Amino acid sequence: MNATITSTAHYVPEKVLTNSDLEKLVDTSDEWIKSRVGINQRHVVSDGEASSDMSTKVAHSLLEKRGISAANIDVIIIGTVTPDHPTPSTAAIVQNNINAENAWAFDLSAACSGFLYALETGAKFIESGQYKTIMVIGVDTMTSILDFEDRETCIIFGDGAGGVILEASKSNTGILGSVLKTDGSGAESLNVLAGGSKYPASPTTIKNRQHYIKQDGKKVFKFAIKRMSDVSTKLLEDNGLAGKDIKLFIPHQANKRIIEATGERCNIPLDRVMINIDKYGNTTAGTIPIALNEAVESNLISNGDYILLAAFGSGFTWGSILIKWDTMV
């Protein structure tokens, strides 16, 4: 019994931050940002808007599209590195907001790989036979941890959320397999140092700007291409497929050059690679479910199509998931 995706949805805040806006904040230019990462704009939350707010909008949309009530949801899993609070979980807040009275809920932290990790976790719950309906959401409010004096990071990220509902497939379709990896030796290359138990918030951590995300861009760039393409290629080979068999490749939207290079290494034609980083920037755990919903709404996916997802994030974490699309259960 496989898990299959029966509903998709996404939400991005109304407020837009353009490259021209960033030119007024840091030493950068519209041309430099477009050439380096392929971003034209990104959406950012309004004052008081948080990860749970975006997730709640996604959750309501998922339920409406599927035509079920919140009482039908068994588990809510939210991938995020920008929860509303250290505790309670953002998933618990969403569970209450939508009145999912029968669901238990938890957050999962794997940065840009968060949605894939959460999707795999939800799929295994379905495969166990113990749970029938799982809600999986990837969300991040990246502007809450951005240093708008650091042009290497503040130009890249945006805010947004996306999600899916998982149910059991009655045919041999849905999520066919996955390859997920972690290498903790990469922790120093992409992180937010302070705010946890290692370096609790203090005047020193604030003065040193340690509550903002920092990255070694060159190292992340090289690792992302290699790691995402390696696991994606292995997953295809394990399932007797090749790049030409993939109808749509939906990689994490971190950098347009990374996206294109990964697709090329997997021998997937560029016209079958989903790219929307120009509109949203890198929304971390939100990128893949946002892109997936856009693909569905644009009729880029039909039942029977092979869909490949891939991500790379802080940790380092990375992985790939193969889906034979089938929304019928």
pLDDT in tens, 267-308: 999 999 999 999 999 999 999 999 999 999 999 999 999 999
Residues 6+ apart with CB under 8 A from 79: 107, 108, 109, 110, 114, 115, 116, 117, 118, 136, 137, 138, 139, 285
Domain stops at, among 145, 172, 199: 172
Percentage of the chain modeled with pLDDT above 70: 99
211 is an active site residue: no
Are residues 186 and 166 located together in one domain of the fold? no
Active-site residue, selected from the candidate residues 19, 255, 282, 293: 282
Residues 6+ apart with CB under 8 A from 198: none
Are residues 161 and 199 located together in one domain of the fold? no
329 falls in which pLDDT band (50, 70, 90)? low
- What's the pLDDT at 176? 96
In a domain, 30, yes or no: yes
Are residues 206 and 57 located together in one domain of the fold? no
In a domain, 329, yes or no: no
Q: What 3-state DSSP class applies to 34?
A: helix
Domain stops at, among 172, 200, 224: 172
Q: What 3-state DSSP class applies to 210?
A: coil
Active-site residue, selected from the candidate residues 252, 255, 266, 293: 252
Are residues 219 and 313 located together in one domain of the fold? yes
Average pLDDT over residues 226-241: 96
Are residues 216 and 114 located together in one domain of the fold? no
In a domain, 223, yes or no: yes
Domain stops at, among 153, 172, 191: 172
112 is an active site residue: yes
The DSSP letter of residue 273 is B
Are residues 142 and 194 located together in one domain of the fold? no
- What's the pLDDT at 179? 97
189 against 89, higher pLDDT: 89
pLDDT in tens, 77-125: 999 999 999 999 999 999 999 999 999 999 999 999 999 999 999 999 9
45 against 216, higher pLDDT: 45
Average pLDDT over residues 181-198: 93
266 is an active site residue: no
Active-site residue, selected from the candidate residues 2, 19, 112, 154: 112
Domain total for the chain? 2
Percentage of the chain modeled with pLDDT above 90: 93
Domain range for 252 is: 175-324
Q: What is the CATH number of the domain that holds 12?
A: 3.40.47.10
**Helices and strands, number each (H, E), in the chain:** 11, 13
Nearest to 292 by CA among 115, 57, 82: 115
- What's the pLDDT at 171? 83
In a domain, 29, yes or no: yes
Are residues 85 and 196 located together in one domain of the fold? no
Task: Please state, in angstroms and rounded to a whole number, the distance separating the CA atoms of residues 257 and 14.
Answer: 27
Q: For residue 309, give the H/E element and its range.
A: strand 306-313
- What's the pLDDT at 246? 97
Task: Please state, in angstroms and rounded to a whole number, the distance separating the CA atoms of residues 318 and 222.
Answer: 13
Torsion sign (Cα): 117, 122, 124, 125? positive
